[in-house]
Amino acid sequence: MIFMKPYAQPRSTILPNNDYKIDSPDFTFMKKEFLFLLITSLFIISSCTVNQAKIDNGLKKYFDSSNVDGCFSLLDNATGEITLYNMKLDTQRVLPASTFKIVNSLIGLETGKIIDEKMIIKWDGVKRRNEDWNKDLTMEQAFKVSAVPYYQEVARRIGRDTMKLWIDSLHYGNMDISGPIDSFWLNNTLKISPDEQLGLVNKLYFDQLPFSKRAQQIVRDVMMQENNTLYKLSYKTGWGFDESGNSIGWIVGWIEENRHVYLFVTEVRSTDKNIDMPKVRMKITKGILSELGFFKGEK
């Protein structure tokens, strides 16, 4: 397959607040070019081939021990082998919640709405339950603490038309961003499957998404969570609620040992209104990775 770089940066006017004016003739031309790219399907986030997966039902115990449902998938890049638990859920779409910050960041960087990982968006003064959000934040800080207000502002600056172009070009989940531009990834409008999430992070790791290498490198850098002599662990978390009020938890990313990368996705579902989702999703993910031999520097 031949990969071409889309017209990600139209000729535009930089406004005094470092924003971009995108209603130029060049932007209209860019839309036409994007339609061509969509038709030829050069930049689709392909899902991983689940019919070639190794089903491991033994991983069920990690979900049972926390009284939750869910699924897990791991792609060994060297062999192409996928280890999978719960194929039924692996292909069902649910809201991405804060895992959408991966794509929101990429689009923001590519369009200049995020200058770089050090760009600050000032706190709007609204007190929220998460104290980490109640201050001025850089993009890097906002990504690490999963600050919803920061990325809602990024989405507003990107705008619906530009956001839709990129979501469609990526073929991201159901590609539905109807409703408020600053909440479609939180309110069950936009949905994506774990299988599609695995395809996304796989392409991100190898610079195969239709964004500049710079944008993809910045996002990979901010996804790094643990880095030591044995392994490197990179991921983005997410937590939201489906239409029935059930908790949906995510961890999507990769682990590297001995210059060898494995991409993974954990999805957790729970009816417990009081679940400690951050603790549960990490316990399950690290428990499974440990059973599969990670964290020892021997993979």
Quote the pLDDT of residue 44. Answer: 56
Quote the pLDDT of residue 52. Answer: 74
Quote the pLDDT of residue 138. Answer: 98
Residues 6+ apart with CB under 8 A from 279: none
17 C-beta neighbours (distance < 10 Å), count = 6
pLDDT in tens, 249-270: 999 999 999 999 999 999 999 9
pLDDT in tens, 20-73: 343 443 444 344 444 434 433 444 566 665 557 899 999 999 999 999 999 999
Handedness of CA 279, 284, 286, 287 (dihedral sign): positive
Give a three-class secondary structure readout of the chain.
CCCCCCCCCCCCEECCCCCEECCCHHHHHHHHHHHHHHHHCCCCCCCCCHHHEEECHHHHHHHHCCCCEEEEEEEECCCCCEEEECHHHHCCCECCHHHHHHHHHHHHHHHCCCCCCCCEECCCCCCCCCHHHCCCEEHHHHHHCCCHHHHHHHHHHHCHHHHHHHHHHHCCCCCCCCCCCCCCCCCCCCCECHHHHHHHHHHHHCCCCCCCHHHHHHHHHHHEEEECCCCEEEEEEEEEECCCCCEEEEEEEEEEECCEEEEEEEEEEECCCCCCHHHHHHHHHHHHHHHCCCCCCCC
Which pair of tokens denotes residue 86?
């719960």
**Active-site entry in 47, 66, 73, 98:** 98
Question: CB–CB of 40/142 below 8 Å?
Answer: no
Architecture, CATH, for domain 13-291? 3-Layer(aba) Sandwich (3.40)
98 is catalytic: yes
Q: In this predicted model, which residue has the larger pLDDT, 284 or 42?
A: 284
Quote the pLDDT of residue 45. Answer: 62
Using 50, 70 and 90 to split pLDDT, how confident is the model at 299? confident
Quote the pLDDT of residue 53. Answer: 86
Prediction pTM value: 0.85
Average pLDDT, rounded, for the chain = 88
pLDDT in tens, 134-160: 999 999 999 999 999 999 999 999 999
pLDDT in tens, 82-125: 999 999 999 999 999 999 999 999 999 999 999 999 999 999 99
Residues 6+ apart with CB under 8 A from 209: 43, 45, 106, 170, 200, 203, 216
Residues 6+ apart with CB under 8 A from 27: 10, 12
Euclidean distance between CA atoms 299 and 295, whole angstroms: 9
Q: What percent of the chain has pLDDT over 90?
A: 81
Q: CB under 8 Å, gap of 24 or more: what pairs does 294-297 form?
A: 294/231, 294/255, 294/257, 294/262, 295/230, 295/231, 296/230, 296/257, 297/229, 297/230, 297/231, 297/257, 297/258
Residues 199-227 have a mean pLDDT of: 98
Euclidean distance between CA atoms 50 and 28, whole angstroms: 39
Quote the pLDDT of residue 48. Answer: 62
Tokens 């339609």, residue? 35
Quote the pLDDT of residue 239. Answer: 98
